[in-house]
Structure 1
Amino acid sequence: MARKKAWVPLSGVKGIRYYEHEDRKYRGRPDRYYAVRWSRQGKVKEEGIGWASQGWVAADLITMRNQLQQNYKQGETPTTFKGLMEQREKKRRAAKAAEEEETLRAMTFRQFFEEHFIPWKRDRKKRRSWTDDVKRANHRILPFLGELPLNAITPELLHEFMDAMYEDGLSDGTVLHHMAVIRQTYNRAAVTTVDGNVVFTGLSPIASVELPKLSDNCNARERYLTKEEADLILRTCRKNSENAPRSTAKASWLDMHDAILLSLTTGLRMGEIQRLEWSDINFYGKTLVVRKSTSRKPGGTIPLNSSAMTMLKDRKTRKERAALVFPPVFGGKKRENFSHLFKDVVDSLGLNDDATSESQRIVFHSLRHTFASWLAIAGVDIYRIKSLMRHKTLAMTQRYAHLIPDDSREAVELLSVSND
């Protein structure tokens, strides 16, 4: 004959009791099964809850019972432990799904490329194809885009990536090969699911990028800002910061202003500005250091003019606790991309209204091109420009040589011959 369960009241707590299983152990003691009693409209009701080994503890039962009593008095639901547990489980599943989706939205280009794209392509393509993709990614794509979430990469940023490749002297065909890898990665992300969620939704950023044609010979960015246009952009950013309704928006616009000024006066790329730390700034020597990296562009020491020094000193006062010169406005470890705000400014001022090709459009990378162009116009020799731009070869700097004023006209005038 089966032994009758010996129910024991929980010490000091009315309405909660348990019995212990003889053979079932939990943490070295007999496992406890809990039940709760209460009275509704003169009738006593009891619900079995669960085992201690399932995570149930007396404190949770007391909290839940108090909540049920409150719900009953206020005419709200649920009014049973079963209903409350179902409600909590529903919320738990919803929270877990939201967390999984948020994690998915934060998946970086590098993570998807290495964990999903390459394994998929390796199983379906010839070895030469996927190994070439890995080489292109490791050498250029991942250092430039790898740490950004897939949904944070914009068409403007991809345009800057192409500019950087042309700046390094790459051909149209090579640029297209790299952009093809990016396109394929996004196409695959749009049909890849993790825990039932699609990795990337929406329009691929590369769909809005004007890619070079193999017949084109002038893909390098041509347009640079005039002094008046640069001043207008800076004034607009400061005005937007002053008129912004929220502190985060004010900070974003002020950061945009300072980043533009820094790029115009040093030639720093957007990624270099975003990675810049206060330890890289030498206020006494009026220089900053772009750190060398095997996976990024060449580093070097850059002189700072008075405009850059004044701006950085002001930022130091406001951001003294941050390691980054441009720390994230909205928290987190990474500085948000400047492309969106810069495009908003340029579009609002109509600076790209007359552009008929990608090379004529003003993007953030145009600031670096402007820096070199202004140096050339001011008469700085090509070797000094190469050093300040940190170009690997002189050929990369030669594109600015035609802007350097020379004395050719004055020289030939010396050879004037009488026409009498």
Structure 2
Amino acid sequence: MVDGKRIVEMLGWTSEGWTADMAATLLAELERNVKQGLRPQTLKEKRQMAAEAQAAAAQQAQLDALKDITFGELAERYAAWAKSTRISGHKMQRLLELHVLPRLHSMPAASITPQHLNELRSELEQTTPLRGRGKAEGRGLSAQTVLHCLKAVREVYNYARETPHPDFPERMLYSGKNPAVLSRRGHGVRLPRSDARRLRILNDAEISALLSYRGQNVVETSELHDMILISLDTGMRAGELVRLRTEDIDVDHGTIRIYSGSDAGITKGGRTRIVHAGHLFAESITMLRRRVGSPGLLFPGRGGAVRNTTAVSRAMAHICATLGLNADVTDDRNRIVWHTLRHTYATRMLEAGIDIYTLKELLGHSSVAVTERYLHLCDRAKRNAALARLTRGE
């Protein structure tokens, strides 16, 4: 009897193992619950509660399994997100696949400690690169590459700590501490020690040699000449240059719009900006006027596709080797590379009297502190003379 109503329910058959004693015991339990106001009070309710308990147990088992989620699973989810939302998503995915996942893929994310990552750092420092001079000379990965790998691990954990699990929106993919905290004071993961900054700038003779270079492939030599010219004149990075389109150029005003977001993002810092051609090399305006007549990429690769920046760097290395510009150079920081063109542009703009904040915007730096290093490279006498002329209004 429940609330004055007689309840009749079927328990089961003797062929299923039920007995009269079992029925009596169950009936007594339900009657006792009715008298005491407890649950369940009917067989239907008892079965429903059992099903709910079973579902809750299954869900709890799934939640408990989150504690054992592997770093590889987190990295896979992060890579899928990063490729569609971050400019550096493809680079991060490649670093993870090449250098991190082979070592951490099957480890539970919660079990990875700073010690594991310090061991990873040591291993990477001994890992021979897949290509380049490091491979030929049997050196380990550069300190900068090792640092990017550690940052990729940190990014995976940060993403997992802020992203709800698709099946359990109230739970994050990972709720523990981030073991990849980078530190210089002995706590957490120790940063690789290096000073890989390239402070090399070109003198007039070297600039003249680069612009006068003529290779066997006349067409490709002309392309490289124009790319070198505009890089010296605007300070654009190689990655920005190869994705530049003719529609981004206003020849009448000498302006070039460098956008972020298109083609997986063409600016390193994700900052759209405008640069001005013709200030250092007036002939670049003539070159741009000749090229903007055809729609598409300003410097297209094979089949009109975007050039590979690695190929551009190799081309510069070949030119420098042919001209002997890197002969007898033992420190990589003193080698002329494509980025040397950007350094040269920055120092020459300062020597021409431009202020540091305007140069920061032209270079697309996020902080003026990054731009200030060029003050130490420029010729102070030239800069002071230029500033004096500007003051006099000449």
What TM-score do you get using the length of structure 1 for normalisation? Answer: 0.47
What TM-score do you get using the length of structure 2 for normalisation? Answer: 0.50
The structure carrying a bigger strand percent of its residues is 1
